[in-house]
């Protein structure tokens, strides 16, 4: 798999009793999960994220509702709309990302290959661009 942002489809087990989806490494996910977190109760119009990670990779799924993930590679921006629970967005390290346009009651599930490390964040866009393009 090329290390670029991409939508990954996950299995969808259709069932009259209710559908079920899942992902696991290495079949669907290109990394082993070290941490899981979720973002919820986002007020209308709010933006989350707006940073990059030096090392951390992520996979983001809209478990409920919808939102946009906007990724910047230092040169250009790409927007992904997530609105189904049977696919997600793989975000490699060193992409500036923000999450916006959250629908009411949306739920963003994020799995990462690293434990939480404040030092892994790049929170200054100019610093990010310099590191990315330098
Ligand atoms: P942050 O990643 O900055 O949120 P966002 O990018 O969505 O705006 O995290 C917000 C706060 O939560 C920050 O103080 C760190 C804390 N946090 C943890 O303690 N552990 C975690 O795994 C995450 C993702 C955040």
Contact 106, 62 (CB under 8 A): yes
Query: What pLDDT, in 10s, does the model give residues 5-23?
Result: 999 999 999 999 999 999 9
Contact 83, 39 (CB under 8 A): no
Q: Where does the pLDDT of residue 2 fall: very low under 50, low under 70, confident under 90, or very high at 90 and above? A: confident
Q: What is the number of the ligand 1 atom nearest to the C-alpha of 118?
A: 15
Task: Please classify residue 72 by burial: count the beta carbons closer than 10 Å to its beta carbon, then call 0-12 exposed, 13-18 middle and 19+ buried.
Answer: middle
Query: What pLDDT, in 10s, does the model give residues 37-55?
Result: 999 999 999 999 999 999 9
Beta carbons within 10 angstroms of residue 48's beta carbon: 16
Residue numbers annotated as active site: 51
pTM of the model: 0.97
* Pocket mutation for ligand 1, best pick of 33, 34, 37, 120 (most atoms within 8 Å of C-beta): 37
Query: What pLDDT, in 10s, does the model give residues 67-118?
Result: 999 999 999 999 999 999 999 999 999 999 999 999 999 999 999 999 999 9
Q: Which residues line ligand 1 (CB under 6 A)?
A: 35, 37, 39, 48-49, 51, 116
Q: Right CATH number for 6-133 from 2.60.120.10, 1.10.3720.10, 3.30.200.20, 3.40.50.10160?
A: 2.60.120.10
Rg (CA), the chain: 15
- Nearest one of 117, 75, 65, 68 to 96, comparing CA atoms: 75
User: What are the structural domain ranges in the chain?
Assistant: 6-133
**Dist CA 88 CA 6 (whole Å):** 8
């Amino acid at each position: 798999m090329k290390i670029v942002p991409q939508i990954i489809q996950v299995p969808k087990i259709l069932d009259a009793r209710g559908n079920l989806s899942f992902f696991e490494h290495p079949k669907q996910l290109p990394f082993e999960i070290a941490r899981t977190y979720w973002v919820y109760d986002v007020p209308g119009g709010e933006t989350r994220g707006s940073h990059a990670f030096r090392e951390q990779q992520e996979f983001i799924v809209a478990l409920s509702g919808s939102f946009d993930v906007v990724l910047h590679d230092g040169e250009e921006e790409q927007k992904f709309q997530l609105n189904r629970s049977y696919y997600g967005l793989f975000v490699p390290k060193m992409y500036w990302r923000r999450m916006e346009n959250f629908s009411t009651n949306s739920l963003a599930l994020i799995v990462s290959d690293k434990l939480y490390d404040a030092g892994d964040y790049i929170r200054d866009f100019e610093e990010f661009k310099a590191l990315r393009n330098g």
